[in-house]
Amino acid sequence: MPGEAGEITGFQAQAEELKDRLRANAFFVGLSQKSQNKLINGHSAYHLPLEEIAARAGVELKVFRWLYRLFSSQVHGLPLAFYRMGEQNRGQGVYSETEESYTKLCIAFAISLFAHASDEMKVLFPSANDGRFQILSSTLAWQSVRG
């Protein structure tokens, strides 16, 4: 394809620039060499286990594990998943109460994570807290999901 080699070269240059920026980051430098290598080489997208990230975001461990299993089963196609699609009119591109419930759950959970992240950003960067971003507290958002 025309220009493909140029695009690859551009992506490689951009990757090196991003790696250099990461290597200059004080937090990144504070990680163990093993963790730095794992992250810089793309072997992991997270410097902490997902369970710990969830706990820091205010998500109970049992809730995280349940949601992770539910969301994973929706993303990763397994033979039995196709067998059961006909039940509850799922996966057919038409309205289904089950699909709507899953969508509501995903949106509510995402809102709770965004709210918690917003709260954390306000703590980390107080100068950026000028009132432009008003999100419910993470506690209220997640309680509305579960309640």
d(CA 71, CA 54): 14
pLDDT band at 64 (very low <50, low <70, confident <90, very high): very high
- Residue 65 pLDDT > 50: yes
Would you say the pTM of this structure is higher than 0.75?
Answer: no
Q: pLDDT digit string (tens) for 84-116? A: 555 666 666 678 788 888 889 989 999 888 888
d(CA 145, CA 39): 33
Q: What is the pLDDT of residue 18?
A: 92
Query: Taking Cα atoms as reference points, which of 40, 45, 16 lies closest to residue 28?
Result: 40
d(CA 116, CA 62): 18
Contact of 22 with 40, CB cutoff 8 Å = yes
The DSSP output letter for 55 is H
Alpha helices in 57-96 (DSSP H): 61-75, 79-84
Q: How far is CA 118 from CA 59, 114, 128, in A?
A: 15, 6, 11
d(CA 143, CA 105): 12
Locate the DSSP E strands across 21-146: none
- Residue 62 pLDDT > 70: yes
Q: pLDDT digit string (tens) for 26-61? A: 999 999 999 999 999 989 888 899 999 999 888 999
pLDDT band at 66 (very low <50, low <70, confident <90, very high): very high
Q: What is the pLDDT of residue 5?
A: 77
Q: What is the pLDDT of residue 23?
A: 93
Q: What is the pLDDT of residue 19?
A: 93
d(CA 110, CA 107): 5
Provide the token pair at 1.
């394809």
d(CA 126, CA 58): 21
